Amino acid sequence: MSDQKPNKKPEKKPDITFFHPDLLEAPADGRAPYLKGYRCKKCGQLDFPKLSPCPSCWGEEFDVVPLSRQGKLYSFSDNFIGQAGMKTPYSFGYIDLPENLRIFAQLEGEPGSFRCDDDVELTVGPVRDNRDGVPLISYKFRKLNSR
């Protein structure tokens, strides 16, 4: 009989809050990433992010719809005072997609380089550090053909 007590202290789980599979698909084979829309099978409403049940009819079954990778920058701001713990400056904006959805996202590019109604495209990159100090990777947008 072992006199060793089992170690009851749970291992600290890493903070992997983002790169959330419900939001973003970044195929391992190198194909372009896309945001995942959710179309309610009952009433047809399309939402991003995923809302379950559907806020329109409380349906709980959805078809996943790959959303357009390009949209229009409806508005934006370059932030020089930000959230506690975030490096400044950083920029964010509202991106309107052809699917009649508006996405709030960080913008990749220099402050001062954005204009309303710019054409922008989806990209993937760090948006902040998690509580373990590791960059959280999520969706972002950048000016079209900026690379």
Partner 1 sequence: MKLQRKVYIAGVGETKFGRHEVDFDVLGRAAALEALRASNIDRPTMVQSAYVGNGTNGMVTGQTVLKDLGMCGHLPIINVESACSAGGMAIHLAVRDVAMGLADVAIGIGCENHTLHMAQGTAFATAMSDIETVHGAVMTGKYAMRAQRYMYETGATAEDLAMITVKNRRHATNNPYAWFKGEISVEEVVRSRVVASPLTLQQCCGIADGAGAIVVCSERMVKKLGIDKPILVAGSVVRSGPYHNRPRDITGDDITEETAAQLYEESGIGPQDVNIVELHDAFTIAELLYYECLGLCPKGEGLKFLRDGNATHGGKCVVSPRGGMLSYGHPIGASGAAQIAASVKQMRNQCPGYQVDPVPRVAMTHVTGGGLSGTEHAACTMHMLVSDW
Catalog residues that contact partner 1 under the rule CB under 8 A: 17-18, 47-49, 55, 74-84, 86, 90, 92-94, 96, 100-106, 111-112, 115-117, 127-128, 136, 138
Task: Give the shortest CB-139-to-partner 1 separation in angstroms.
Answer: 8
Task: Give the shortest CB-41-to-partner 1 separation in angstroms.
Answer: 19
Beta strand 34-40 pairing with 46-47: antiparallel
| C-beta of 30 vs 112, nearer to partner 1 | 112
One DSSP character per residue, 4-43 reads PPP--SPPPPP----S-TTTEE--TTSPPPEEEEEEETTT
Rg value, the chain, Cα: 19
Task: Give the shortest CB-84-to-partner 1 separation in angstroms.
Answer: 4
| C-beta of 62 vs 92, nearer to partner 1 | 92
Q: Long-range contacts: 5-14, Cβ < 8 Å, 24+?
A: 14/132, 14/134
**Cα distance between the two ends of the chain:** 65
Task: Give the shortest CB-143-to-partner 1 separation in angstroms.
Answer: 16
Q: Contact at 8 Å (CB) between 122 and 73?
A: no
